[in-house]
A and B are shown apart, each in its own frame.
Chain A
Amino acid sequence: MPPLLEIEGLTKHFPVTIAIFPRKKVAWVKAVDGIDFAVASGETLGVIGESGCGKTTTSKLILLQESPTAGTIRFDGQDITGLAGPDLMRYRREVQVVFQDPYSSLSPRMRVSEIVAEPLQIHTSLSREQQHDRVAEVLDLVGLRPEVARLFPHEFSGGQRQRIAIARALVTNTRLIVLDEPVSALDVSIRAQIMNQLEELQQRLGVSYLFIGHDLATVAHISHRIAVMYLGQIVELADALELCKKPLHPYTQALFTAALPAHPDEKRERLTIAGEVPSALAPPSGCRFHPRCPQAMARCSVEAPTRKEVAPGHSVACHLY
């Protein structure tokens, strides 16, 4: 069976222009530079990386908010770049998104019922009563009482708003939800609630998640597999537990040493990488991580490594392997 979402060589370069007229392109920001991954149905793929690594651009490409410079995105075996008409509508119906900040992603002037029913009005021909029933059904799924449907977003706390956003994403029998840092804006105790809710919904409905985040522990907890991104490229992709046990790429290893301990007695080596993420405008030659890499060799600054499988389901882009 083909995977639900399959991405091959996906690339997005943004032009940098100077002067209004004549508009001159002086450089390219290589936000996403040739990434491949696949998401099976019912699976959670975690994408982790620091700011500027291209994780949000990737999600925008999948959501068709940006068009790729090169590469293909296949959903259900079908290339989505050329979709139009009813096929495009079907894609938009089956792929939904939940954003980071539930305070700005819900319209303050719409009632919860209108917010959650909007995808139904666009994508289905359900009658008003049927829509009402469906809204009540998904609100119940995300742990909200159906009575809240007539309230406005400002009457809810951050965690409840995020539940409303999830309800809206689920209402059209969605098959893939892109979760762009869905818990980083929430309080610690509420985070656990939302994470548990997401896991429960997946078990019940078999929906796939693309979970984007920067907190290693959170992403590792909810994901089946994890892709580690650095400057527009995937440097390592592996099963979540395998990645925690045996991170191979020096950057992944650095992320693990930088992760905060769960207990004060937890042993931890000193952070081995210095410096900051270089600009995507002028990425380093060869392997993009080599200026910060503690194990860099002469070859790393010249030749860019390609990602290859070193163990079943565990691939890494590094000259060490």
Chain B
Amino acid sequence: MASLLQVSDLQTHYVSFGGERIIKAVDRVSFTLEEGQTLGIVGESGCGKTTTCLSIVGLLPAAARIVGGSIEFAGQDLARLSQREMRRIRGAQIAMILQDPMASLNPLFSIYTQVAEPAYYHRALRGRSLRERVRELLNAVRIPSPMLRMREYPHQMSGGMRQRIVGAIALAGGPRLIIADEPTTNLDVTIQAQYLDLLKELQEKTGVAIIFVTHNLGIVARMCDKLAVMYAGKIVEAGSVRDLFTTPKHPYTKALLGSMPKLGSKEKLLAIPGQPPDLATLPPGCAFHPRCPEALPICACEEPGEVRVDGSRTARCWRAEPQINDPAKEIHAAAAGN
């Protein structure tokens, strides 16, 4: 059976100054997602994770263009659909949850109107059945007394409740894929835990696939099955969450894991020197090499290709290449011997 979502070699560029300046925000990104699975996309700001998501839902800003690759979703290539065709997919098949619930809710419309809209357009529900659907959705996201609450407005809700309303809107069209772009960044710790538990529960009930965009590896450890680590527009390592957390292959993944403070430990954090590169002036070779503690001479001149480490695991690093890795090990062994 084909995957629910198969992104292959996706390239999204921002073009400015009449084509003189090209920023490769998403550079040959590939991943697949099955029904009911959760994929985490992790990276620092400006690594292209949000642009990847916006490419999937067809909501790129005017300056951005998909210049290559394909986004196969349930047998259709989303990259080639017109806006009119995309409109039938957005909300019905693919829904998005954004970071700031206050910005994604309209302050002038009641909760009912906003939750009902996707069901009205995509499920063709009217009248009593529409009201019943909204009640069910609000119940599902645990809004107390939904019949009363649906008449209220966003400003009457707390931050956690607003984000749950956004979740209800996302579910209203009965989507097969939800893209959640840092949905809990603005929430308090206990509210965040409640929200994550809720999403997990809804996923078990409805079998929806979720793409979780975040910079928080803790959320990935709790929520996701698969993980893609992005750096400077590329996926530098991808695989199952357990594999990546246990035996990270790419130095960037290792560094990200090392820079996470662990509860109850005073171990010095592994800081990554320098800062994420500007996509307009990428260093030659591997984009990570100036900050990489394990850089080889080759890293500065030639870009590493994607290496299949084992099974479904891939890494973009010269160290992961078998023919490079072996002599390096010997050098290390020799150094250790001296």
Q: How many A-B residue pairs have CB under 8 A?
A: 124
Name the A residues within 8 Å of B246 (CB-CB). Answer: 263
User: A246-289 interface mask toward B, CB cutoff 8 Å, 1 = contact, 0 = none?
Assistant: 00000000111111111111101011011011000000000000
Interchain CA distance A159-B274 in the complex, whole Å: 9
Q: Do residues B275 and A276 form an inter-chain contact, with CB atoms below 8 A?
A: no
Query: Known interface pairs A50-B188, A260-B218, A264-B242. Does A189 touch B194 (Cβ–Cβ under 8 Å)?
Result: no
Tally chain B residues at the interface, Cβ within 8 Å: 44
B41 CB, nearest partner CB in chain A, Å: 14
Chain B residue at minimum C-beta to C-beta distance from A244: B264
* Contact present for B260 and A187 (CB under 8 Å): no
| Chain A residues within an 8 Å CB radius of B260 | 188, 217, 262
**With an 8 A cutoff between CB atoms, is B219 at the interface?**
yes
The residue of chain A having its C-beta at the shortest distance from the C-beta of B196 within the complex is A260
Q: In the complex, what residues of A have CB within 8 A of residue B44's CB?
A: 187-189
In this assembly, does B67 line the interface, its C-beta being within 8 Å of a C-beta of chain A? no
Interface residue from B158, B245, B268 paired with A264 (Cβ < 8 Å): B245
Nearest to A242 among chain B residues (CB) is B264
Stretch with Cβ within 8 A of B (4 or more), from A86-94, A105-113, A126-134, A191-199: A191-199
- When distances are taken between beta carbons in the complex, the residues of chain A under 8 Å from B218 are 217, 259-262
From A199, A271, A277, give the contact of B194 (CB < 8 A). Answer: A271
With A188-B259, A189-B44 in contact, do A50 and B189 touch (Cβ < 8 Å)?
A: yes
CB-CB < 8 A to B222: which residues of A? 260-261, 264, 268
**Contact indicator B189/A216 (Cβ below 8 Å):** yes
- Residue B103 at the A interface, CB < 8 A? no
Could you list which residues of chain A lie within 8 angstroms of chain B, going by C-beta atoms? 50-51, 157, 159-160, 187-193, 195-196, 199, 214-218, 220-221, 240-241, 244-245, 254-266, 268, 270-271, 273-274, 276-277
Interface pairs A-B: 9 shortest CB-CB: A260-B218, A192-B259, A244-B264, A258-B193, A221-B261, A189-B272, A192-B269, A50-B188, A192-B271
- In the complex, given contacts A187-B215, A196-B271, A264-B241, what are 17 additional A-B residue pairs having Cβ atoms less than 8 angstroms apart? A188-B215, A188-B217, A189-B272, A190-B275, A193-B272, A193-B273, A217-B260, A217-B262, A221-B266, A245-B264, A260-B219, A261-B221, A263-B245, A264-B222, A268-B222, A274-B194, A276-B158
